[in-house]
């Protein structure tokens, strides 16, 4: 049986109070629409059609060629939205999953269970449902005496008796594709909202004697649809808990999972320990036996085995095995830090390479630089890379020693094994094995400090306002 997917993503989402399209708001680092499309791919959907309307260009830019698109120019309800896919899928044979783009918590396992029930019951439609203690606002699933789904009634259209029903429609369905589009051609907008409801297609199928099945979710959390920022925060909390559990079951130690924030696409190796206050974002990959945190903010980085990152910010950089970063380092985008290197306290790096075994222990800026192996960069060293118009590179070759408070004015090269004396400002290349000194000669003036202090006292006394008499 071929499987198709129709994702409803045309609504404006006004309750989000946002310039961003609702389905593009991230949950644990990934737009909620991305989760929905991922789930369809995981269950083997042959074709995926996303119904777009408001923000169509942004949705298409995000998904690209992962899906086909159908435009719902005027939002006239869920049934009308699905009908826009008729030109793409109307003639296909198979099962079609219809799912909302704002339901990121639905799992592939739940969709598989829905498909399985659909096949086994030979249903025309199978509905995903949930049992909620408070079903207010949700469409109610009304079952017949045989236990099959008889109809779905939107909350605003429910009778008093129907509002007592706690089984709700999640908004995710599997239809026989041909029967879906046949039923959609018969629905009307005769309801409180004047819209074409997809749920009316269910009633039409049932009236024809077709089987309509319902599958309750094991975890009602999966039913959460995100319509406002409060629901977005709730989805983030639930997803973060899932992600944390997944990593812990895979052998990662999270010392306080409620205060560690890990995005969906992050990968972490076994026996790595994550301390509280840590944020791991984007497509970060962390190796085994690492120590991360406390209070590390790492985004889109690759970190090798046995590395340690404490109280530091790292972005879009490659950190090799055995590296030590922090505390309070800022590793900006474009860095490549070699094995067993050290980036110490209050060090900032940008678009640079640091070779194996090299050290920048503290209070230095290394930008647009190529640093070789086993280099020592002393406290307060600055690579002056910007001339006000262009960036220039600094090259420090293997086993060089850069003393404290050195300014390296790029473009400049310090040769292999060279020494640069503390306090120097280097404007010319330093040959290999040479020692560079570039600072003014010290002059001592005996007794001058006492005369200077006396002069300052006299100036202060002369500047003092007279006392009132």
Task: Tell me which residues are annotated as active site.
Answer: 362
Cα–Cα distances (Å) from 433 to 62, 200, 214, 400, 413, in that order, read 53, 84, 79, 8, 13
Q: In 10 A of CB 298, how many CB atoms? A: 25
Q: Which residues contact 453 (CB under 8 A, 6 or more apart)?
A: none
Q: Strand locations in 78-196, DSSP E?
A: 95-100, 125-131, 140-143, 149-153, 167-176
Q: What 3-state class would DSSP assign to 366?
A: strand
Question: Token pair of 163, please?
Answer: 């509002």
Please check whether residue 273 is in contact with residue 255, taking contact to mean a CB–CB distance below 8 angstroms: yes
Listed in sequence order, the residues at least 6 apart from 228 whose beta carbon sits closer than 8 Å to its beta carbon are 15, 16, 17
Question: Is-contact 419 436, C-beta < 8 A?
Answer: yes
> Residue 137 — left, alpha, or beta (φ > 0 → left; ψ -120 to 50 → alpha)?
left
**108-121 and 32-42 are packed helices; what angle lies between their axes, rounded to 10 degrees?**
50
CA distances from 174 to 34, 65, 123, 379 (A): 20, 24, 9, 64
Q: How far apart are CA 3 and CA 146, in angstroms?
A: 28
Query: Which residues, in sequence order, are bridge partners of residue 49?
Result: 6, 68
Q: Which residues of 350-389 are buried (b: 16+ CB within 10 A; e: fewer)?
A: bbbbbbbbbbbbbbbbbbbbebbbbbbbbbbbbbbbeeee
Comparing C-alpha atoms, which of 48, 172, 153 is closest to residue 113? 172
Q: What are phi and psi of 213, to 5 degrees?
A: -100, 160
Task: Report residue 319 CA to chain centroid gap.
Answer: 20
Which residues are 353's β-sheet partners? Answer: 336, 370
Residue 275 CA to residue 262 CA, distance in Å, equals 12
According to DSSP, the β-strands at 125-131 and 167-176 are antiparallel
Structure-token match 């995100």, residue found: 226
């Amino acid at each position: 049986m071929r499987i198709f997917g129709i994702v409803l993503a045309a609504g404006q989402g006004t309750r989000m109070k946002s310039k961003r399209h609702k389905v593009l708001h991230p949950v644990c680092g990934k737009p909620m629409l991305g989760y929905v499309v991922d789930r369809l791919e995981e269950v083997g959907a042959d074709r995926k059609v996303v119904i777009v309307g408001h923000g169509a260009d942004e949705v298409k830019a995000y998904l690209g060629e992962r899906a086909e698109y159908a435009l719902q120019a005027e939002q006239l309800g869920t049934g009308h939205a699905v009908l826009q896919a008729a030109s793409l899928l109307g003639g296909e044979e198979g099962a079609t999953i219809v799912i909302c783009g704002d339901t990121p918590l639905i799992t592939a396992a739940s969709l598989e269970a829905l498909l399985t029930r659909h096949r086994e019951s030979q249903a025309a439609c199978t509905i995903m449902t949930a049992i909620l203690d408070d079903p207010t606002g949700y469409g109610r699933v009304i079952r017949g005496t045989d236990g099959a789904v008889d109809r779905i009634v939107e909350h605003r259209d429910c009778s008093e008796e129907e509002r007592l029903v706690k089984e709700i429609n999640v908004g995710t369905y599997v239809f026989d594709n041909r029967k879906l589009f046949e039923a959609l051609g018969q629905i009307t907008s005769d309801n409180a909202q004047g819209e074409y409801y997809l749920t009316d297609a269910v009633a039409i199928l049932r009236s024809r004697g077709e089987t309509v099945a319902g599958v309750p979710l094991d975890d009602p959390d999966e039913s959460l649809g995100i319509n406002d920022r409060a629901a977005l925060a709730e989805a983030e909390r639930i997803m973060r808990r899932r992600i944390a559990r997944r990593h812990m079951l895979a052998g990662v130690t999270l010392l306080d999972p409620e205060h560690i924030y890990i995005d969906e696409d992050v990968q972490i190796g076994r026996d790595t320990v994550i301390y509280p206050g840590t944020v791991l974002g984007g497509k970060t990959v962390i190796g085994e036996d690492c120590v991360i945190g406390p209070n590390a903010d790492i985004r889109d980085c690759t970190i090798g085995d046995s590395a340690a990152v404490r109280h530091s910010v790292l972005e879009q950089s490659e950190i090799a095995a055995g590296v030590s970063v922090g505390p309070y380092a800022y590793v900006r985008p474009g860095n490549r830090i070699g094995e067993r290197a050290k980036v110490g306290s209050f060090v900032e790096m940008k678009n640079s390479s640091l070779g194996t075994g090299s050290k920048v222990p503290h209070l230095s800026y290394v930008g647009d630089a190529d640093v070789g192996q086993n280099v020592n960069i002393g406290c307060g060293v600055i690579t002056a890379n910007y001339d006000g118009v262009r960036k220039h590179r600094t090259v420090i070759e293997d086993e060089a020693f850069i003393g404290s408070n050195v300014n390296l004015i790029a473009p400049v090269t310090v040769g292999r094994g060279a020494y640069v004396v503390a306090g120097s400002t280097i404007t010319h290349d330093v040959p290999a094995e040479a020692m560079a000194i570039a600072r003014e000669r010290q002059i001592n003036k005996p007794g001058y400090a006492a005369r200077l202090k006396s002069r300052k006292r006299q100036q202060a006394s002369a500047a003092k306002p007279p006392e009132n008499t």
